[in-house]
């Protein structure tokens, strides 16, 4: 299943690229040309609704690896969901960079701009591991070795 992701720097350039289940951000030349560290305050993730219909919810996972896994999916997911709808009305989320781990120095939690009505959609944040059952990754697109952007049904 093909999709289009669009990364936009506010008041700056936009990077748009096609992706499939084998696409990783780090493998995209245009992405590599971007600054290695971008402030999350100016970074938004635009979801093209053409690929995510009304009967879906969007689950976004950016962090991966044994260190970040220790954060816990459920607790962190609830925190981010609360922040999304409580602070940003489901439109834009600003999250601090995950600078604690050297292994993740180039990974950040992206800020997301969601083109959905927060009263009708539920948003989750998943930390997925490569070891997990691949069936749960059916609608997930890998960003890094074990980080995925996922779409799940309500």
**Residue 37 and residue 125: Cα distance in Å, rounded?**
22
**pTM higher than 0.85 for the full model?**
no
Q: How far apart, in Å, do the first and last CA atoms of the chain sit?
A: 19
124 DSSP assignment:
B
28-87 pLDDT, tens digit each: 555 455 444 333 333 333 333 222 222 222 223 333 222 222 222 222 333 232 222 222
31 DSSP assignment:
H
**Residue 126 and residue 124: Cα distance in Å, rounded?**
6
Q: How many CB atoms within 10 Å of residue 100?
A: 12
Which DSSP string do the residues of 5-23 spell out, in sequence order? EEEEETTS-EEEEEE-TT-
5-34 pLDDT, tens digit each: 444 333 334 444 454 445 454 555 554 554
Please name which of 51, 66, 130, 126 lies closest in space to residue 100, comparing C-alpha atoms.
66
Report CA torsion sign: 63, 65, 70, 74.
Answer: positive
């Amino acid at each position: 299943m093909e999709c289009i992701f669009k990364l936009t720097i506010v008041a700056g350039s936009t990077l748009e690229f096609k992706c499939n289940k084998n696409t990783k951000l780090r493998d995209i030349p245009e992405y590599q040309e971007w600054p290695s560290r971008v402030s999350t305050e100016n970074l938004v993730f635009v979801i093209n609704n053409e690929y995510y219909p009304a009967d879906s919810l969007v689950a976004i996972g950016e962090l991966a690896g044994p260190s970040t896994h220790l954060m816990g999916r459920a607790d962190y997911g609830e925190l981010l969901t609360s922040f999304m709808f409580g602070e940003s009305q489901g439109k834009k989320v600003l999250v601090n960079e995950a600078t604690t781990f050297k292994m993740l120095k180039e990974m950040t939690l992206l800020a997301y701009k969601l083109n959905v009505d927060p009263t009708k959609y539920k948003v989750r944040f998943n930390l997925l591991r490569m070891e997990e059952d691949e069936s749960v990754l059916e609608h997930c697109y890998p960003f890094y070795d074990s980080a995925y952007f996922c779409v799940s049904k309500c």
